[in-house]
Amino acid sequence: MTTEPPGSADLSGVFAYTWDLVGDPAAAERIASLGVGAVVLQAAYHSVRAMTPYHPVHRTVHATHAAAYFPLDPRQWRGKRLRPAAPDWGVDAPDRFGTATSALRDQGLRVEAWLVLTHSTAAGERAPDLTVRNAFDERYGYALCPAQPEVAAYAAQLVSAFCERYDAAEVPTLMLEACGWLGFEHGSHHEKTAGADLSAGCRDLLSICLCAACREGIEARGGDSAGLAQAVRRTVDAEMRDGVRAPDTLAESLGERAAQALLRHRQWVIEDLTRQVAAVAPGRELLLMADGDPQATGPDSGLDLGRFGGRATALVLKCWDEENRAVARVEEAVRDSERPVIANVSVLDEHPTDLARRVARLLAAGARQIRYYHAGLSSPARLRALRMANAQEAVRAIAGAGTRTTEGAA
């Protein structure tokens, strides 16, 4: 039996940052005017520089490190190497998340907490041994490895601290980002990697974590971690030094047995992390940012969706790329998974006027809801496109509800 997605009466929602709302008394009403029913609000987030075009006090916010946007009890984190930091940018408030949530709820909007779990350069610098380590023994300081028990415990404690402060009636839903491995791709400051012209296959190989915990996990699932590391180094060097393009799939680069051991390890770790989060968030709906490609690393966890045995109320699929590919991704996820699929759609692409058509196609492909990215980063023209796409979505929802009522009467 398929679970209804959260807030099923309201198909749509938008992403927003706390700094879009705190200090701007008009922000919540402006977001409500988009016609959406929910707001995915930043509760714990990585570093970023963002525009705030509508705020009365600031025009940009530079979040210099990952931070929690809700008050923390220092006693809960005493002696912990991994601990969230507090923000010192934007308009200050004792409880930024709570202040923004109150304003949104006053407008009748549902609030979903946006929690980024394993993406933190600040935490990675404090505990480099807990970060992703590639086959060349190089660390990605922005990427905490979820196979490390200390990292999983940190993620669960972060969620637990949030749930202790806000009850489920106030914030019924948690959206989990980076509930797995971040890989080679990272939009860090002064990124200087594009000129190497790395193929997608080569980037996937550089995204494989071979820290001690991951080596142990791979070997427990029938793989040879030392041989896997050798295969990665050999294939990456062949591309970077000799121009021999790496294969597209891990199985071609590593061999089927090694690739499957790696993917089984990743699947188990992500599933286990969602279970740990669910255990400290009773009564909450969990939306998991996921990718149906098990090879994928990044903010959206790469999984075999048809075999996913973790905890998630619904799956959130990023649909930011070429339209036909995004539609195919949703169709595949709907076919493979019993969980509802929510399409994450960007309003920030080059052609916002195409947004309504894209949304219509994603809904036709089986997406049960839409989350629009991003209310605070969008120009007036992009907000108009969002409003138009959402109005179309609402009409479709009403028509669908009428059809279901008629069918029920029959």
What is the tens place of the pLDDT at every residue in 258-310?
999 999 999 999 999 999 999 999 999 999 999 999 999 999 999 999 999 99
Tell the residue number behind the tokens 């570093």, with chain if given: 47
Across 122-151, average pLDDT: 97
In a domain, 260, yes or no: no
Q: Cα–Cα distance between 215 and 219 in angstroms, integer? A: 6
Residue 188: pLDDT band with limits 50, 70, 90: low
In a domain, 212, yes or no: no
Which has more confidence, 376 or 399?
376
Read off the pLDDT of residues 52-76 as tens digits, 9 standing for 90 and up. Answer: 999 999 999 999 999 999 999 999 9
> Any bridge partners for residue 314, and if so which?
287
In a domain, 243, yes or no: no
pLDDT at 350 over 80: no
pLDDT score recorded for residue 349: 84
In a domain, 278, yes or no: yes
In a domain, 239, yes or no: no
User: Do 21 and 92 meet the contact criterion of CB atoms below 8 Å apart?
Assistant: no
Check which CATH number belongs to the domain holding 130 and give it. Answer: 3.20.20.80
Q: Cα–Cα distance between 133 and 139 in angstroms, integer? A: 5
Average pLDDT taken over every residue of the chain: 92
Tell me how far CA of residue 23 lies from CA of 52, 85, 88, 376, 378, in angstroms. 12, 21, 14, 13, 18
In a domain, 226, yes or no: no
**Share of the chain residues as helix, strand and coil, in percent rounded to the nearest 5:** 45, 15, 40
In a domain, 160, yes or no: yes
The overall pTM is greater than 0.75: yes
In a domain, 138, yes or no: yes
User: Do 378 and 386 meet the contact criterion of CB atoms below 8 Å apart?
Assistant: yes
Q: Which residue range(s) make up the domain with 291?
A: 12-195+274-409
- The token pair that represents 170 in the structure block: 């106030």
Q: Cα–Cα distance between 297 and 397 in angstroms, integer? A: 33
Residue 396: pLDDT band with limits 50, 70, 90: low
Q: Cα–Cα distance between 392 and 387 in angstroms, integer? A: 9
Across 340-347, average pLDDT: 97
Residue 410: pLDDT band with limits 50, 70, 90: very low
Across 78-98, average pLDDT: 94
Read off the pLDDT of residues 156-165 as tens digits, 9 standing for 90 and up. Answer: 999 999 999 9
Domain count, the chain: 1
pLDDT at 229 over 60: yes
CA atoms within 13 A on the CB side of 406: 6
pLDDT at 38 over 50: yes
Backbone angles phi, psi at 372, to 5 degrees: -95, 130
With pLDDT > 70 as the criterion, what percentage of the chain qualifies?
92
